[in-house]
Amino acid sequence: MSSRFHRLRRPVGVPVTFLNCGPAEAVRIGLAAAGGRNLEVFSPSIGRQLLELGLIDEIDLHVAPVLLGAGIRLYDNPGGVPVRLHRVGDGAPTAVVNVRYRPVR
């Protein structure tokens, strides 16, 4: 799922469906089309809406050693209710992952 449908071009030879509905209906349609497979969301704004609707089962976050100065925050929700997460992979399920990087010179 992507919130930038107006910028997408239909890939040649790949089945793509463009929807004009709310996020909950899009999930229902997407899960039916996925036939038991995962439905992946690649949009911070849609992802946040689905979190608020309770429609996200898991979140995969990938940490990269890059400092960003600007841009759209992933799942930004100023003043909103915090979403608590439970780790389900890689080590103790409630541990914090501590990563240390040095700047490359």
Q: How far apart are the first and last CA of the chain?
A: 38
pLDDT for 26? 93
pLDDT band at 10 (very low <50, low <70, confident <90, very high): low
- Which residues constitute the domain of residue 4? 1-105
Provide the domain count of the chain: 1
Q: Which residues contact 26 (CB under 8 A, 6 or more apart)?
A: 1, 19, 46
pLDDT digits (tens, 9 = 90+) for 28-81: 999 999 898 988 888 878 888 998 898 888 887 766 555 667 776 666 777 777
C-alpha count within 13 angstroms, C-beta hemisphere, residue 30: 18
Tokens of 30: 């997407």
